[in-house]
Amino acid sequence: MVDQDMADDFEGIVDLIAGTEDIKSVLDGLTGFAAASMTSTTGVPIECAVTLHRRKRTATIGGSSGRAAVLDRIEQTLGDGPCVEALESGVPVLLGDVSSDLRWPEYRSALSAAGVASALGIPMKMNDDAGAVLDFFAPSTGCFTEQAVSDGLRFAEMAGKALRLAVRIVAAEQRAEHLKSAMDTRTAIDLACGIIMAQNNCSKDAAFGLLSNASSTRNQKLNELAETLVDRFSGPGTAEAHFDD
C-alpha cells in the first residue's frame, strides 16, 4: 500500500465520518476501505469485518460484505478465533491456513464452509472503554504476508483514530438528543401545570400534585399525560423546547 493510497483512504474516511449518522454506517464504510486496501496489497479479493466493543453496549459489527459480517458475528458468538484473540492480546493474529491450523476448530469449520482459506485479525487502538478489531478474510493461503500485516497495521492505526472520533461525535449527538428530550418533557409538564393552575386557581406544587395523581390513576406516564393535556388546550407541537440552529 503506497502512501498515496493511504492518503486517499484517509480522505475517504474523513468524508465518511462527516456524512455519517450512526456508528454502524461508519463501520461498514471503514471495512470497505480496509478490504480495498488489503486487496490492493495482496492481489486477491479480500473481505473485511470489524467489531466494536463499548462498555455497557452490545457489540456492533460492520462488514464490507454480508458474508464477512456473518463470519465475524459467528466468531463473536463462539468467543473464539483470530479476531477475538487479537482484541484480547492487542497484537495481530494470523490464521494462515484454515485446513491445517489446529486452533479454533469450530470457527475454522465455519470459515471453510464459507470458502475462506485464511484470516487475519488486527486490533485498532481505542479508548479505555472501547475496543475494536479488523477481521480480514482471504480465499487462498499465503496472502497475509509480513508486508500485508504491516500495511494492515498502518491502516488500523489510521482507522482507529477515525473511529475514536466517530464514536465521540455520535455519543455527543446522542447526549444532545437526550438532553433535548428531557427538556421537552420538562416543558410539557410545566405547561400542563400552568393550565391546571389557571383552571383550579392553585399553586404550582398543587397543580403538579394533581397531574401526578392523574398519571397514577390512569396508569399513564407523567410526560405523556402532560403532552396530551397541552395538545388538548394549545394544539400539537406546543410543548417543545426550541433551539437556535
This prediction has a pTM of: 0.65
- Phi and psi at residue 47, to the nearest 5°: -110, 155
What local confidence, expressed as pLDDT, does residue 173 receive? Answer: 54
Domain ranges for the chain: 3-173, 179-234
- State the DSSP code for 190: H
Written as nine digits, the cell of 233 is: 388546550
Please answer whether residues 5 and 40 qualify as being in contact, where contact means their C-beta atoms are separated by less than 8 angstroms.
yes
Domain 3-173 has CATH 3.30.450.80: yes
What local confidence, expressed as pLDDT, does residue 159 receive? Answer: 83
The set of residues, in sequence order, having a beta carbon less than 8 Å from that of 194 and lying 6+ positions away, is: 207
Pick the CATH number of 179-234 from 1.10.10.10, 3.30.310.50, 1.10.240.10, 1.10.2020.10: 1.10.10.10
What local confidence, expressed as pLDDT, does residue 121 receive? Answer: 96
What local confidence, expressed as pLDDT, does residue 191 receive? Answer: 86
Distance CA 22, CA 236 (A): 29
Which residue's C-alpha cell is 488489503?
38
One pLDDT digit (tens) per residue for the chain, 245 residues: 445 555 555 555 666 565 566 778 878 888 998 999 999 999 999 999 998 887 766 677 889 999 999 999 999 999 999 999 999 999 999 999 999 999 999 999 999 999 999 999 999 888 767 788 999 999 999 999 999 999 999 989 888 887 777 666 555 555 656 656 666 667 788 888 888 888 888 998 888 888 888 888 888 888 888 888 888 876 555 444 333 43
Written as nine digits, the cell of 234 is: 394549545
